[in-house]
Amino acid sequence: MAMRQNLPHMDEIKNIVVADIVLIIAFSLTIAGGLFSAGSSGFLTTFLSFLPIAALAVTLSFVLHELMHKFMAQHYGAAAAFKTSLNGLIITLLTGAFGFLVGIPGATWIFSNSFTKRQNGIVSLAGPLTNFVVFGVFAALLFTINPPPQSYLYTALQFTLFISILLAFFNMLPIYPLDGSKVLAWSKPVYLVTMAVIFVLIVTLHVIPLSYIIVMFIIALLFSTFYRFAL
């Protein structure tokens, strides 16, 4: 009975699916250059060919990240559910259409009056750690299969690596309401070790350019500023 209560209900599943689809479309639009590139000969081909890749990367990296927040919060006796945000969905689609992406389609909402800092930190850390698992699995696949760099399979594996570690990095920034602010409030050593692992993975596998890291800081600050509006 307890296991059934922890599983997402139908409304929550709909919210997760909608958020997933919006992110997939927005990422594919961004990769294709946004709607300003719609007149070019390669736009539609790039957009359509990238949809399956984005579906793989976003579903594993984003959906599992949010579900792990939910399950860990429920483990500590809290009520938790993923909810979409209409404003967040619009922002996600619009930015993707303009060729850059601010992906905030929704979040896992947690309701508890009894969380300790440690519990809140662990619940927050569960999402980025899930991204670590996804990253590890796909890094192992990339090195084991070793597909040609120009192949479709290589692009799919590499993009999943990119999205998984990008989400981990973005969410671990110490800016409220991101996961990192809650992990840092709980334990500075845990926060520093987690960020160190992220940077080691980024540097050794070259999955995120330095420019993206700078952009992530800017987006996180904007996200924090407009948090109440967007979500």
Report pLDDT for 112.
83
* Active-site residue, 12 included: no
Query: Contact at 8 Å (CB) between 121 and 189?
Result: no
| 94 backbone dihedrals φ, ψ, rounded to 5° | -65, -45
Residue 79, beta-bridge partner list: 111
Q: Render each residue's pLDDT in the chain as its tens digit; 231 residues.
A: 444 456 677 889 999 999 999 999 999 999 998 888 877 888 989 999 999 999 999 999 999 999 999 999 999 999 999 999 898 899 899 989 998 888 889 999 998 888 899 999 999 999 999 999 999 999 999 999 999 998 999 999 999 998 998 899 889 988 888 899 999 999 999 999 999 998 888 777 766 665 666 666 666 666 555 554 444
The C-alpha atoms of residue 54 and residue 160 are separated, in whole angstroms, by 8
Domains held by the chain: number? 1
- Residue 171 sits in which domain range? 2-230
Catalytic residue among 12, 20, 66, 179: 66
Report pLDDT for 231.
47
Cis ω before 52 (30° cut-off from 0): no
Residue 80, beta-bridge partner list: 110
Report pLDDT for 211.
61
Report pLDDT for 193.
94
Pairing of strands 79-84, 106-111: antiparallel
Residue 138 three-state SS = helix
Report pLDDT for 1.
40
